[in-house]
Amino acid sequence: MGADKKWLLIFFSAAFISVVFLFLISGFRSSYYYSFSPRKSFASAVHRGPGYPPAFAYYISGGRGDEDRIFRLLLAVYHPRNRYLLHIAADGTDEERTRLVALVKSVAAVRAFGNVDVIGKPDPVTYMGSTNIAAVLRAASILLKLDGGWDWFITLSALDYPLITQDDLSHALSSVKRDLNFIDHTSDLGWKEGQRIEPIVVDPGLYLARRTQIFHATEKRPVPNAFKVFTGSPWVILSRSFLEFCVFGWDNISRTLLMYFTNAVLSQEVYFQSVICNSPEFKNTTVNSDLRYFVWDSPPKMEPHFLNTSDYEKMVQSGAAFARQFEKDNPVLDMIDKKILNRNRNQVVPGAWCASPKSWLKDNCSRWGDVNVVRPGSEVKKLEEVIKKLNDDLKSNSKTCS
């Protein structure tokens, strides 16, 4: 047996181990560092489903040194009707997770509604490898198990920030079907075919305790013809029904593609796109947008460039729900807090649910009224225009995954 074939055998053996790991992820019993138990009277006040505004399940992730950023982002997107799962990856420390738990526990509404959890047994995350999609699928399975009422699953990182309030987001999405999936996708692979799909890689984060770079095989594989590969942004807003399809896998396509993309570069940019566009049940539910604001360098790099105060006006006018990426404590975040979110430092964004008198000196949401009512602000108009156009395009195009 030649050296190249021996190496391929090693790679495929490792791939098999990683596939088994991913295959079992939907049944993996999660471990929490801290789970906030709701007070019964407040938990029963939250109503979901038809006739009520939509609710969201947020997965907010980061790495070493990101606990403050994750907490700030949580405050910026917090609402009692939503569910939140926070994750500091395995490169972070237990001390950072302890600090994040203490910060979360300091929020009165979180203590009352018990809708925030922090993962205690962290996942390793290798940027170019499949551990990213493994972590997202684990988060989805946890949120499905914890809460039976949310409508959309939203992925955010510590580098993200909202451009609208949760009242605005909930109001804007009240006008569309709750089975829609906001996911940037295309079948035009271009240069990604040779650099992302054909290479065979193994993410050692799936089976090694110490973080290392992904391994590359010496040979490539042809583009599959049993299914079509789609690619797009890794940041998604997915319906509950589609997440259940991916996690529970009653149609084997979700597991087949999971096995295939275990050995692909940046699987988080192809997995959900390919599953949804190869599934007859869901392929016509795709809105081709992730509702994010990015600015790419020319030529584009692996990530969009960091946003600052000079980007503020374009961000506001974009009609996007979220933007990335931001450096820690960049002044533009303070501008968004003050001008858009009306958020005081170390406080949640006030919404229609808050009943405390407005004050810069104390928490405006230390008391609350009806949490099932939303009050949109002026910024929602731009997002509504974007969603209406996207929805109209969806209705006029019967083949959304072409």
- So what's the pLDDT on residue 397? 74
- So what's the pLDDT on residue 326? 96
Report residue 155: phi and psi, to 5°: -100, 130
- So what's the pLDDT on residue 35? 65
Percent residues over pLDDT 70 in the chain: 87
What is residue 293's DSSP assignment? E
Instruction: Give how far Cα 353 sits from Cα of 127, 274, 303, 368, 377, Å.
Output: 38, 39, 36, 5, 14
Task: Answer yes or no: is pLDDT of 21 > 50.
Answer: no
Q: What is the pLDDT of residues 163-180, one digit of tens each?
A: 999 999 999 999 999 999
Domain-by-domain residue ranges, the chain?
3-396
Ramachandran region of residue 68, left (φ > 0), alpha (ψ -120 to 50) or beta? alpha
Cβ atoms of residues 364 and 358 within 8 Å = yes
Of residues 362 and 70, more confidence is placed in 70
pTM: 0.90
**Residue 15 — very low, low, confident or very high, per pLDDT cuts 50/70/90?**
very low
Q: What is the pLDDT of residues 104-150, one digit of tens each?
A: 999 999 999 999 999 999 988 888 889 999 999 999 999 999 998 99
For tokens 């079907």, what's the residue?
177
The mean predicted confidence, pLDDT, of the chain is 87
- So what's the pLDDT on residue 357? 66
Q: What is the pLDDT of residues 38-49, one digit of tens each?
A: 776 687 889 999
Cβ atoms of residues 89 and 125 within 8 Å = yes
Helix (H, G, I), strand (E, B) or coil at 382: helix
Q: What is the pLDDT of residues 208-261, one digit of tens each?
A: 776 677 888 889 999 999 999 999 999 999 999 999 999 998 889 999 999 999
- So what's the pLDDT on residue 2? 52
Residue 292: in which H helix or E strand, if any?
strand 292-293
Whether cis (ω within 30° of 0) applies to the bond prior to 299 is yes
User: CB neighbours (10 Å) of residue 187?
Assistant: 14
